[in-house]
Structure 1
Amino acid sequence: MTRRQFSREFKLEAVRLVNERGISLVQASRDLDVGESILRRWIKEVTSDPGQAFPGQGQLKPDQQEIDRLRREVAKLKAERDILKKGRGLLREGVDMKFGFVAKHRGIWPVRWLCEALGVSRSGFHAWLTRSPSARARSDEILGAHVKASFVGSDRTYGARRVWHDVLAEGDVCGLHRIERLMREQALRARPRRRGLPSDKGERNEAAANVLDRQFVATAPNQKWIADFTYLWTAEGWLYVAAVIDLFSRRVVGWSMSVTMTAQLVADALMMAIWRRGKPDALMHHSDQGSQYSSEQFQKLLADHNVSCSMSRSGNVWDNAAMESFFSSLKTERTARKVYRTRDQARADVFDYIERFYNLRRRHSTIGYLSPMEFERNKASG
């Protein structure tokens, strides 16, 4: 039996599920089909050294260790720069403002880094967390509810100035800047004008033939995989999401997320699928003709694993309709009209949708209204 392997990205998201999202270890283990002892080991590894967890097999050489140390220092310096840039003006503010900033951004940077950059103590921050809210904080909570009511009542189209006038009309006395702050804190952002979508400027190589030919049915696992990637907007910019689906059960067997749409993005998704399903025989991989899939790097990866390549015809989205259907479900059922303040928030939401909903529970009409995992279990036992 082939030993299951998991990518570093999968392990980190699995740990966040337990540490940051309140899912119990037992439930997460069951949802992700990972042993409790394995998941507990992953959590311990991340807790002991978050930056260096899951480095891969083997020990680093001395020169590599020095490079690794320097990278950590550079990462910390960049984080401190970004913290001070994002929190400019806070150095002149009181500790309550600084602690509020730490509480708001501790999901992005470690609390230790945040406190060091702002010149406050970690013990003071943790004491502040348990302190009763100030009169100002209670006032913000009440006013924030009025702000949200105005924003939602406008069908999420009002900006801060219009919300401000609504609040003034209700009899509240406050300034525009306070309304802007409360909207930022609640991630209330007016629906933007349609932004230009990212374009694929990569160099395209010769495309493979359309071997799949819209035959979106497989009689067994690991016969036909389809792949593509999409993009989600966050306040930090685009997040690209690549996925690989087994047409037998419509299960997402591999995925990857990145800030850039490179060949590495789609290669990581394919490698996750191979690690999960074992090295399959007589497998066809179908995608569009994007530069990422036609790149030398990705084509070599297919050849190394004896996977045959099939590509949609140029400009014909119906040639990969099953993949388009999945991304449509992802956006309609989960990400549409959500406002992600960070890419990490979007990553966590996509991970949750794929691993804890779509694969595990979502009923799929193509497979008799069973979930992909239930369909595979039934076929394996029958």
Structure 2
Amino acid sequence: MHDFVKDHRRWGHRRAWRNALAEGYGICRETFRRIWREEGLRVLPRKKLKRLAADTHRDVPAGQYPNNVWALDFQFDSTWHGKTIKICNIIDEYTREHLAFTVDKNINAVSVTELLDVACLEHGGRPRVIRMDNGPEFIAHALQEWAAEDETIQAFIPPGQPWHNGFVESFHNQMRDELLEDNSIENLEHARLLVAQWSSRYNNFHPHSSLGYLSPRKYAEQWKQENTVNT
């Protein structure tokens, strides 16, 4: 019986009994069912499907100008004594700027909308698109309502394919290599201080080959100057 269940996790005692008869075991169904129950065997439940956002907009291209597409994602780490730290980051896909972040033990959808509001205030308005995965914080009604206020498009990447959010994935790799791997974090306040210091250095001094070896902040300032002159 146990071997049968191991190989056929979605088959119940009736199919198992039929299989036993075919194998030459002379046992009635009621006796088989009693032994089946005494052994604690059961049909394993189906895996619960992950809820996905209804309107995915997966075909949104990369940002074409500042505040066009913002990418959101979570980064995880822990303190030196094992307590989990969760970081939510927002970057501008066009300028590569680290627009905003929050660090906490838990970050829910309301916290994400508050972080977006902070980023909007500090960077001159809302984005046209926010790109993210199908995590529960991102598909929640609170974020849908926030996006609906100004018709911001929610661009959800395909499940299990983080490379579709490549800008923020690249950013997270840099954050891990340059910050998280090199520091022993004491607590949340220490983590917030370290991320803030690293973010300032990244925005102001980190050269990007794709930006002509300018830092994200310098590139954003150059774009603004050029487009102010042109208008």
Normalising to structure 1: TM-score of the pair?
Answer: 0.44
Structure 2 residue matching 1:229: 3-state secondary structure? strand
% identical equivalent positions: 22
Alignment map for 1:321-340 (pairs within 5 Å): 321-340=166-185
Partner letter of residue 370 of structure 1? L
Tell me, yes or no, if the aligned pair for 1:257 and 1:265 is still in contact at 8 Å: no
1:337 deviation in Å?
4.3
**Match of residue 376, structure 1, among 193, 217, 220:** 220
Structure 2 residue matching 1:336: 3-state secondary structure? helix
Partner letter of residue 294 of structure 1? I
Aligned to 1:238: 84
Q: CA-atom RMSD, angstroms?
A: 2.0
Partner letter of residue 175 of structure 2? L
Alignment map for 1:196-345 (pairs within 5 Å): 204=51, 206-213=53-60, 215-216=61-62, 218-234=63-79, 235=81, 237-280=83-126, 283-345=128-190
Aligned to 1:366: 210
Higher relative contact order (CA 8 A, sep 6+): 2
Alignment map for 1:29-48 (pairs within 5 Å): none
Write 1 or 2 for the structure with the bigger share of helix.
Answer: 1
1:205 deviation in Å?
5.1
What whole-Å deviation, never above 9, does each CA across 1:215-242 have from its counterpart, x for those lacking one? 33x3321111111111121136111111
Tell me which stretches of 4 or more aligned residues in structure 1 moved more than 2 Å: 203-208, 210-213, 277-281
Structure 2 stretches lacking a partner, 5+ long? 1-49, 227-231
Partner letter of residue 268 of structure 1? E
What whole-Å deviation, never above 9, does each CA across 1:300-324 have from its counterpart, x for those lacking one? 1111132111100011111111111
Structure 1 stretches lacking a partner, 5+ long? 1-202
Alignment map for 1:134-153 (pairs within 5 Å): none
What whole-Å deviation, never above 9, does each CA across 1:236-261 have from its counterpart, x for those lacking one? 61111111111120111122122103
Q: 1:344 to 1:353 in 2, by over 3 A?
A: same
Aligned to 1:67: none
Structure 1 residue matching 2:58: 3-state secondary structure? coil
Larger Rg: 2
Normalising to structure 2: TM-score of the pair?
Answer: 0.70
